[in-house]
Structure 1
């Protein structure tokens, strides 16, 4: 069929919709040279007419035409209201699995294609039938049939949000520069944003806000008066000239705060106003609030914007999946009852008399029972409550509300398909509860939830609520979620009884909480949560603990929180251990990228609570039998590994400096050569080579450190120049330290490391490894070296111990029992978990002197392989033709390794252990395999065991030795 023939046949056709729709569509297929539904899918399930028609009632389907993953299509008669047709199609889109395109057309004048992608801005393609000779418009239709993605709007909702946020950051900066209070700037800008949204979704009439801005551009001095009148009208409803303004309120328009705007500032508002704000992500409110307070936050949308899919990784297992399972069970019962009712009804019409009446009564009862099941489920949804106890600007809450409304909508549509009548949606913002300490953020959360509600209603073909449009949300409280003040004292804050707890609590590491929150608040937290949360735990752990307690006490059913990924280890894991043992995880994502305050971080997402019958836990999106406290899914729960006495007092974290005690090699060398001090002792007494993690992973920096040990200030002062350096560079910092001991003993390191020094004093060399590094690397260091707190030192000087530690067996163990750190998610090594729990081969344990197992063939084999590995590595790091060795300026210290020239220095700069292990050349891999084979033989195990088998055997050894030492 040619375009001309189609137009001639159908333009302004008088045919009725029911009589003409299918023929109209088949003619379009012929026009576009597309196969018909019957040719593509004879079953009609994925492509057909009247998809979803109820077989029990014979009613209309969810769409006149449906093609899965392409479109739903609704026909109307010529000159019919296509807006009403679109709203009808929206209401049934969920039953069609939300196709990417919703198409409405009348028979004789117009075809409209509406895009329906979740995270793209909306777009509408209008095709008058008389224009079908236009090749571009025919191409739009062709794409709808065959390649709908080509019609997808290029701009995402996030990109739109970022654009307008950038514009308003300029406005915020300008207003702040004139001295306006940051909170008021943020509040005012969010009013402007909501007005734009309300205008574009037709809650404000006839483009009234944009017209107001355009009028103000002509006379900027009139803006204050214009805006004030609009805000007052929105507060309680009213009129502006001849335009009726609805009652909004909800807290956002409680007063008439307005700032005067310059013509340039009005230009910013106008450029934003002409965008389509109906698609704006509600997170824009939090973003603009943040930028109103700090206009320079431009790197990303910041803490208030979190990708929808990320949030749904919490909401789905906590809310959607259990409620969906309930609906599937209810729907099955409804279907059986209605099938029985239809059968009885049909039989009753063929049977006369009392028997027919009984069948009719039984049919009515079955239908009523089916309706009762639906009503019970819908009431369950209406009564369901969700709490975000750190709700910020409300992102989690508005997505939870949308999820609950989607569940209600799907249940209504699917029940209607089975033959039950449909009702208007009942669920509203009252189902979500929030706690937020910042009053402006709490206000934003309320408004964000209402924008989400309005968008959902309109997107699904329903009218928004009214009188007022923004109802006050008392369920979002402005208060502290952890501490309440009652009777003049601090008590633990209560959380309301709910079904689900979700959210993204604040991230503060245990070591910086005091400096960020202050001594008084920290002491209150420690006192109130003493028996439940370790003092070293991160701030997020308090929310985790309270959520767990809410579940065990029956105050909630499930919880899901975003936490720091360090939750899997260290002090943080005490709460995770309780959850794993007494509640159980239903879903977890162990290590995910996230954004906090515009910075990329790594997080763990955890969901826990009562498990449904036959429900399978999921870890990182995959089914597992169970989830351990360290967010692994292996059958062996290594979180139950115990410390072994034979490993005690061998591995140490380096001492904490708390001040600039380190000095350059030039400075140290000057002091070392400076002769004797007044008491006749050299500076070499208090100077030691020093290294941190970077010195190991990269090239040594050759720095030294001043270490007065436990000397008194008087004794330390006799080492004149080192003491003077500390007095100038360290004392001012230490005198401001909260720790009294560190203030008083300002010339000493923050932590002396006396246990480390005592253990390593007899040794000419020690083993060190970075606490955090991409690769688990062990190296030899001089015995006199003082490691930084970012290093772990092992007080062994034998190649056998070095080889066992650098083997695959110890690496696997330490990776699983350590934590993770930083954006790079590098593994962390700790003496308590990585070393003290590790079961060394029997007879080669750290409590045995190296001399006592020197003749053991196993020890000899490991030592040989370890020495060879170290020799090869050192030769690669410091080739003989590129370096020269010079004795240190005073005896007792290791030689210095220097490049022979500048060209050699440039080559050596790239020769780092990190680069070496990134490349892992064949010779290195072979050396490690030889070492691994020697260590495997020492255990009496095959060398080719799988990782899981290695861990299982090591865990069994750990448990065996831990049990044996209980009787010692």
Structure 2
């Protein structure tokens, strides 16, 4: 068919929709050179007329034409309201597999709207005469063959970022003029909502933009004009001039208060109003605006935010999957009822008993549907740290999607169409920050209205903004009187509670608040991070049968030490049914590593860990390893008082090498003692993983003030450089004992006394590395020290067996997600081979062939590494200024210095050359023989989980033999 033939035929068309639609579509296919549905797909599997079930509202099929993965197409009669046709497609889009294009036509016009999730929706309209243009026909042909041509270039996230950026400057200027920050936030939120409201048609005829344009000519009139508009939106029956205004209120428009603006402000508002606010993304809108409205968060304006996909990792298992499972069960019962009832056809009308049976079956099915919808309408989701509402918005949308799917399924069974009942009242929030709390309400309101429009429904009215007192502005874990805060009863708790480490709580929250918090929640260990109180509160609600399920985001430190203790009641009395042990996340604009933990009181199996089905998830967010729960590994008596954390400085006690040497060269002090007693080499984690930094430390140990003062030069340094900082320390003991390290490490020093060397390892590092250091060397607080000087212990620690154990029990740290080594868990629980345990002097097993094999392999490993790190041809050895300390290693020249910079243990283990791999293989085999597992190790049967299972069993045996 030629364009001329097509236009001639359809310009004169006066047929009604039902009579003409299929003929029109077949002719259009011929015009585009494409087969029509009947020719292309006789079975109607992927391209068909009248797709879907009959509509209870009348008509056949959910769409007049449907092409899988391309479009749904609805026809209306000539000059009909195509917006209503589009609304119908929107209502059935889910049942039509959410096609990327929704197309409506009255045979004189063709309107294409894009329907990609998370993309800005675009509209393309063509009239009959446009089809003469080959380019237009190519574009229409793409709807059939390549709908990606229509995919919008801009995402909703990008649109939202742009719109939010417009307001950041305005909010700051208003604050600079002396307005209260909360008044500024409330005013800007009103402006934002007005722009959204006019773009979705809730404010008629772009009234807000017109108000700005009038005010542009006379800035002084803005306050009166805006006040009139806000006042009209606050009450039922409001008007601006002769224009009727819908009733909004909801607490956002509770009065007509306005802040004065300047001409520049109005110009900025007009630019912002020119954007399409109808499609902003509420899942990030609140976060972006919070950064602009809250003065404390201005620095995060360019930062990333938590996107919807990551929020769904919590919402899906906690809310969607159980509610969809309930619907699947209800739908199956309904389907059985309807399919087993007598059926009415065009050829056979039901009467009498048969009609009664079908009527009763439909009524029973309708009751099942109504019961399920009532469950959804009464379902409550609580975010007890809701911020600006991103979790709440995503949860509300999920509940509304489930309800919509249930209504469509019911209509397909012949039941009457159901109208959405799930609304903003289903989401509850608690938020301490007033900026964020109000933004959470705005995000939920906008999300509700968008969902209704996106699915073909009108927004609720009278008022448009339902009150959201369910989002409370208060502390979620502590009342003002110091008692524990209560949460409202809910079906699900979700959210992203505040991340604040235990050591920072007093500095950030205050000593009184932190003490009251710990007293109010005695079940939370004293060394736990702040987020743990949210886990304890959620579990307390579950134990009291006031909560079904919970899913919370936490730093990945939840897996270790005191933090995971809050998960032990969950594991013992309930279950963690889904968890992601280590994920990238963004908090307060910073990239962090987090864990996602979903739990309930059900004991059903299986669970999912990192997306993989597992039998059980333990408190350290690990799965069963041969039945072993490593979180129950015992601290062994044989390992006590051997491994230590380095001293905590609490002040700049460390100095450059040259400064230290200048003190060391000085003669004896008035007490007859040298500065070498209190000035020692310092070793931090990077000294081990990279190159030595030549830092030294002043350490007076447990000396009294008058004794320390005799060491004149180092004492004067501490008095002038450390004391002023210590004077401001919150800890009374550290203020009064300002010349001492925060923790002196006396127990470590006593354990190392008499040793010729000690084993040092960085507490956080990509590779688990152990090195030898002189016992006079002071480790940094981020270094662990093992007070042993024998190669056998060194070799066992550097074996694959100890590495696996320490990785499983030690946790992970930082954005780099590096393994963390803890003396208490990584070392004290580790079961050494029987007879080679740390409570025995090395001389006691010197003749043991197992010890000798390990020691020999360990010495070769260490010698090889040292030769690679410091080749003799690249270095000069210079004796230290104090006898007894190791020589200084100085590069011979610039080329040597450049080469030595690359020779670090991290680089060595990244490359892992064959000689290094061979050295470790020999060591691992020797250690395996010491455990009695040598044959299994050599055969390859000892996989990681089996190693951990055997080590756990040995841990339990050694613990019982103590």
TM category, shorter: over 0.9
What is the deviation of 1:642?
1.5
Q: After the TM superposition, which residues 103-502 of structure 1 pair with which residues of structure 2 at under 5 Å, given as runs?
A: 103-107=103-107, 109-237=108-236, 238-282=238-282, 283-294=284-295, 297=298, 299-300=300-301, 305-343=305-343, 357-485=352-480, 489-502=481-494
In 2 relative to 1, CA 946–604 (structure 1 residues): closer, same or farther, beyond 3 Å? Answer: farther
Q: Distance in 2 between matches of 1:172 and 1:56?
A: 50
Label 1:759 to 1:592 Cα distance change in 2 as closer, same or farther (>3 A). Answer: same
Note the 1:863-878 alignment, pairs <5 A.
863-878=855-870
The equivalent residue for 1:625 is: 615
Query: How far, CA to CA, are the matches of 1:457 and 1:250 in structure 2?
Result: 18
- Helix, strand or coil: the match of 1:94? coil
Question: How do 1:815-964 residues align onto structure 2 when only pairs under 5 Å count?
Answer: 815-941=807-933, 942-943=936-937, 949-964=943-958
CA contact (8 A) 1:173 1:295 kept: no
1:346-381 CA distance string (max 9 Å, x none) = 799699xxxx73333332222211111111111111
8 A Cα contact 2:642 2:838, kept in partner: yes
Q: 2:62 maps to what in 1?
A: 62
Shift of 1:286: 4.0
Pairwise CA distance, 1:301: 5.9
Structure 2 partner of 1:513: 505
Maintained 8 Å contact 1:53/1:62: yes
1:952 deviates by: 3.3
1:728 aligns with: 720
Cα pair distance change 1:31/1:361, threshold 3 Å: same
Q: Secondary structure at the match of 1:845?
A: coil
User: 2:830 touches 2:955 (CA, 8 Å); kept in 1?
Assistant: no
Measured after TM superposition, the shift of residue 300 of structure 1 is: 4.9
3-state SS of the aligned residue for 1:26? Answer: helix
8 Å CA contact retained: 1:114, 1:122? yes
Distance of aligned partners of 1:853 and 1:294 in 2 relative to their CA distance in 1, 3 Å threshold: same
For the residue of structure 2 that corresponds to 1:180, the secondary structure is coil
Contact 2:53 2:62 (C-alpha < 8 Å) held by counterparts: yes
Q: How far apart are residue 95 of structure 1 and its match?
A: 0.9
Per-residue deviation, 1:217: 2.3
Q: Is the 8 A contact 2:801 2:947 kept in 1?
A: no
CA distance in 2, matches of 1:930, 1:136: 72
| Partner residue, 2:557 | 566
Q: Which residue of 2 aligns with 1:102?
A: 102
Q: Would the aligned equivalents of 1:302 and 1:596 in 2 still touch at CA under 8 Å?
A: no
Identify the residue that residue 760 of structure 2 maps to in structure 1. Answer: 768
2:81 equivalent in structure 1: 81
RMSD across aligned positions (CA): 2.2
Could you tell me how far apart the structure 1 residues matched to 2:135 and 2:220 are?
Answer: 47
Distance 1:388 1:910 in 2: 49
Distance 1:41 1:833, change over 3 A: farther
SS in 2 for 1:309: helix
- Cα distance in 2 for residues equivalent to 1:780 and 1:58: 84
* Contact 2:291–2:297 (Cα < 8 Å) also in 1: no
**Cα separation, 1, equivalents of 2:720 and 2:664:** 20
Deviation at 1:75, TM superposition (A): 1.3
Distance across 1 between alignment mates of 2:798 and 2:958: 27
Whole-Å separation in 2 of the counterparts to 1:15 and 1:612: 63
SS in 1 for 2:111: strand
For residues 754-802 of structure 1, give each alpha carbon's deviation from its aligned partner in whole angstroms, at most 9, with x where no partner exists: 1110111211211111111111111111121110110011111122211
Q: Is the 8 A contact 2:495 2:553 kept in 1?
A: yes
- Please give the TM-score of this superposition, normalised by the length of structure 1: 0.95
Listed one character per residue, the Cα deviations across residues 253-300 of structure 1 (whole Å, up to 9, x for unaligned) are 223332332222222111111111000122324422331223973655
Is contact 1:481–1:495 with CA below 8 Å preserved after alignment?
A: yes
- Residue-by-residue CA offset, 1:602-638 (whole Å, 9 max, x unaligned): 111111114496x642222222222222112234322
Distance 2:847 2:132 in 1: 94
Distance in 2 (alpha carbons) for counterparts of 1:437 and 1:746: 37
Matched, 1:750 2:742: yes
Distance 1:180 1:236 in 2: 26
Are the aligned partners of 1:186 and 1:290 in contact in 2 as well (CA < 8 Å)?
no
Q: Which moved more, 1:646-655 or 1:55-64?
A: 55-64
Structure-2 separation of matches of 1:87 and 1:451:
19
Alignment of 1:564-643 (within 5 A): 564-611=555-602, 616-635=606-625, 636-643=628-635
Number of the residue aligned with 1:533: 524
8 A Cα contact 1:590 1:604, kept in partner? yes
CA distance in 2, matches of 1:940, 1:963: 15
Superposition deviation, residue 945 in structure 1: 7.1
TM superposition shift of 1:40: 5.0
Q: Per-residue deviation at 1:599?
A: 1.0
Query: Where do 5+ consecutive residues of structure 2 fail to align?
Result: none
Q: Distance in 2 between matches of 1:273 and 1:570?
A: 52
The question of whether the paired residues in 2 share the 8 Å contact of 1:428 and 1:453 is answered with yes
Conservation of the 8 A alpha-carbon contact between 1:813 and 1:951: no
Q: Secondary structure, in 3 states, of the residue corresponding to 2:166?
A: helix
Q: Do the aligned partners of residues 947 and 100 (structure 1) sit closer, same or farther apart at CA in structure 2, a change above 3 Å counting?
A: farther
Q: How many angstroms apart in 2 are the aligned matches of 1:578 and 1:446?
A: 34
Tell me the CA shift for residue 944 of structure 1: 5.2
Deviation at 1:961, TM superposition (A): 4.2
Give CA deviations for 1:322-368 in whole Å, capped at 9, x if unaligned.
0100000110110110012235x6799699xxxx7333333222221
TM-aligned CA deviation for residue 749 of structure 1 = 0.8
Q: 1 CA distance for matches of 2:645 and 2:715?
A: 25
CA separation of 1:2 and 1:591: change in aligned 2, threshold 3 A? farther
**CA distance in 2: counterparts of 1:899 and 1:42, whole angstroms:** 82
Structure 1 range deviating more: 129-138 or 890-899: 129-138
Aligned mates of 1:668, 1:602 — CA distance in 2 = 38
Given the superposition, is the C-alpha separation of residues 56 and 106 from structure 1 closer, same or farther in structure 2, using an over 3 Å criterion?
A: closer
Change in Cα spacing, 1:960 to 1:879, as seen in structure 2 (3 Å) is closer
Q: How many correspondences in the alignment? A: 956
State the 1:432 CA deviation. 1.2
Local SS of the residue matching 1:897: strand
CA contact (8 A) 1:644 1:958 kept: no
Equivalent residues of 1:166, 1:298 under 8 A apart: no
What is the distance in 2 between the residues matched to 1:764 and 1:268? Answer: 72
CA distance in 1, matches of 2:349, 2:46: 36
Matches of 1:404 and 1:327 in 2, distance apart?
A: 12
Gaps of 5+ in 1: none
- Deviations for 1:622-662, whole angstroms, at most 9, x for unmatched residues? 22222222112234322222212211111111011111111
Q: 2:342 is paired with a residue of what secondary structure?
A: helix
**How much does 1:963 deviate?**
4.3
- Tell me, what secondary structure is at the counterpart of 2:34? coil
Instruction: Give the conservation status (yes or no) of the 8 Å contact 2:288–2:301.
Output: no
Deviations 1:195-247 (A, max 9, x none): 10000000001011111222222222322222122111111152212222211
